[in-house]
């Protein structure tokens, strides 16, 4: 495997880095404090092709690879992991439509998604169905040429805008994964409502709400694929989503490490700069090694997904678990190296720590990542 980036890949990464530093980083602390969802900034990212990174070009997508996406999300997260992570979720929803919907559905929905004129939310998790996603209870009952949806989704990123829409996994048949279908529910549909914006440890620059369906009528033509394949579609989306979230952890942690190196070159203790103490130099070295190992692992998994390798799902789970764990550990170590100043919001380190913590939970907890890997090992 060649680890040298091509000229195009370097240009893509540099474009995303410039956007992160110019449009995200200067506002990240304010957005976090005010719980502001920067929709205009999201649309500015979409104007650069980041609203449909690996969506086909005939509907406005950029037609890039999962490897390219990993470069983009790492770069964006150096500015704000919370905003970058929402762009990842939006891209995951758009890809599910691009990959599994009819051509008519693609042309109807995707142009407004790739431009981010409309924002998408991924609706799988429920109050009683998190890691055991196949136990979801939201039901879609067919009545003529409509489905009537009843139930509730929980922890839905980006939810609440009546002009957006929701890619919903709902039960149309038997219990278990084979009874689930994927249905697109436009914002503003009667019977669709939202809970309050959740008060969270991090990710405050994007809203998180319950999405509630109370006899919500949606045309059958909004179903993606045939009945009963929705769980398969949802899991396929998560392979790429896990890589993106891993990349967001990597970018956030790299920003934290960079802040720590800069701080230690200026701060003095016992008559020496902090970066002159060998013990602290070794700590920085370990952090850099962990991030480089995580980056290499992430690139390996992204290449496998691009190649449609049979072990892609396992590698995506491995990379997600390893990278999100290492990313959080490095950010937390960077906070420690700042001493008491790391605990203050002014330096931006504590925000990165808070934002990265949830990456070990969402897109499948890291315990579930271990389960995926273990099942592959023991043949279950």
DSSP 200-221: -SS-TTS-EEEEEEEEEEEEGG
* 82 three-state secondary structure: helix
Could you give phi then psi for residue 94, rounded to 5 degrees?
A: -60, -40
* Dihedral over alpha carbons 253, 366, 34, 86 (to 10 degrees): 90
| Exposure class string for 143-155: b at 16+ Cβ within 10 A, else e | eeebbbbbbbbbb
Show the tokens assigned to 272: 């020496």
Query: What does the alpha-carbon distance between residue 335 and residue 339 come to, in Å, rounded to a whole number?
Result: 7
Do 240 and 305 contact (CB within 8 A), yes or no?
yes
Average pLDDT over residues 59-85: 98
pLDDT of residue 288 exceeding 90: yes
Show the tokens assigned to 141: 């009952």
Q: Does domain 7-114 have CATH number 1.10.540.10?
A: yes
The model's pLDDT over 4-39, given as tens digits with 9 standing for 90+, comes to 899 999 999 999 999 999 999 999 999 999 999 999
Output the pLDDT for position 164.
87
* 268 three-state secondary structure: strand
Choose the catalytic residue: 126, 227, 350, 363.
363
Output the pLDDT for position 376.
87
* 162 three-state secondary structure: coil
The model's pLDDT over 298-331, given as tens digits with 9 standing for 90+, comes to 999 999 999 999 999 999 999 999 999 999 999 9
Query: What does the alpha-carbon distance between residue 245 and residue 252 come to, in Å, rounded to a whole number?
Result: 11
Show the tokens assigned to 139: 């039901």
Fold of 231-378: Butyryl-CoA Dehydrogenase, subunit A; domain 3 (1.20.140)
Q: How many CB atoms lie within 10 A of CB 225?
A: 17
**Confidence tier at 380 by pLDDT (50, 70, 90):** low
Show the tokens assigned to 66: 């999962």
β-pair partners for 272: 269
Which of these, 173, 168, 217, 210, lies nearest to 191 by C-alpha position?
217
**Confidence tier at 1 by pLDDT (50, 70, 90):** low
Fold of 120-228: Butyryl-CoA Dehydrogenase, subunit A; domain 2 (2.40.110)
Q: What percent of the chain has pLDDT over 70?
A: 99
Within this chain, domains 7-114 and 231-378 share the same CATH topology:
no
**Concatenated DSSP letters of 324-342:** HHHHHHHHHHHHHHTGGGG
Query: What does the alpha-carbon distance between residue 6 and residue 68 come to, in Å, rounded to a whole number?
Result: 10
Handedness of CA 167, 29, 45, 13 (dihedral sign): negative
Each domain of the chain, given as residue ranges in start order, spans 7-114, 120-228, 231-378
Q: What percent of the chain has pLDDT over 90?
A: 94
Query: What does the alpha-carbon distance between residue 215 and residue 147 come to, in Å, rounded to a whole number?
Result: 9
Average pLDDT over residues 171-190: 95
363 a catalytic residue:
yes
pLDDT of residue 363 exceeding 80: yes
Whole-number mean pLDDT of the chain? 96
Handedness of CA 266, 272, 274, 278 (dihedral sign): positive
Output the pLDDT for position 163.
72
């Amino acid at each position: 495997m060649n680890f040298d980036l091509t000229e195009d890949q370097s240009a893509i990464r540099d474009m995303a880095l410039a956007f992160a530093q110019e449009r995200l980083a200067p506002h990240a602390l304010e957005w976090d404090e005010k719980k502001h969802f920067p929709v205009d900034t999201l649309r500015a990212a979409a104007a650069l092709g980041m609203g449909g990174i690996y969506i086909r070009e005939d509907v406005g997508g950029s037609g890039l690879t999962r490897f390219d996406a990993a470069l983009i999300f790492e770069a964006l997260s150096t500015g704000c992991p919370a905003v970058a992570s929402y762009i990842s979720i939006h891209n995951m929803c758009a890809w599910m439509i691009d990959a599994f919907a009819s051509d008519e559905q693609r042309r109807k929905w995707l142009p407004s998604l790739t431009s981010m004129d409309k924002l998408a939310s991924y609706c799988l998790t429920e109050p009683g169905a998190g890691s055991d996603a196949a136990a979801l209870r939201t039901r879609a009952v067919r009545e003529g040429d409509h489905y009537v949806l009843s139930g509730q989704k929980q922890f839905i990123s980006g939810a609440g805008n009546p002009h957006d829409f929701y890619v919903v996994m709902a039960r149309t048949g038997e219990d278990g994964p084979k009874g689930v279908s994927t249905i697109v529910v436009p914002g503003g549909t009667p019977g669709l409502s939202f809970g309050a914006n959740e008060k969270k440890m991090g990710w405050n620059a994007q809203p998180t709400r319950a999405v509630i369906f109370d006899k919500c009528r949606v045309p059958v033509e909004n179903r993606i694929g045939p009945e009963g394949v929705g769980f398969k579609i949802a899991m396929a989306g998560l392979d790429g989503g896990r890589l993106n979230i891993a990349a967001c952890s990597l970018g956030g942690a790299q920003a934290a490490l960079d802040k720590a190196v800069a701080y230690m070159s200026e701060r003095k203790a016992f008559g020496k700069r902090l970066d002159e103490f060998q013990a602290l130099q070794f700590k920085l070295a370990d952090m850099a090694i962990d991030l480089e190992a995580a980056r290499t692992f992430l690139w390996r998994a992204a290449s496998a997904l691009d190649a449609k390798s049979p072990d892609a799902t396992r590698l995506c789970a491995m990379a997600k678990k390893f990278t999100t764990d290492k990313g959080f550990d490095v950010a937390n170590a960077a906070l420690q190296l700042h001493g008491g100043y790391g605990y203050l919001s002014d330096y931006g380190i504590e925000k990165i720590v808070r934002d990265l913590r949830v990456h070990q939970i969402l897109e499948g907890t890291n315990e579930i990542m271990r389960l995926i890997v273990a099942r592959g090992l023991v043949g279950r």
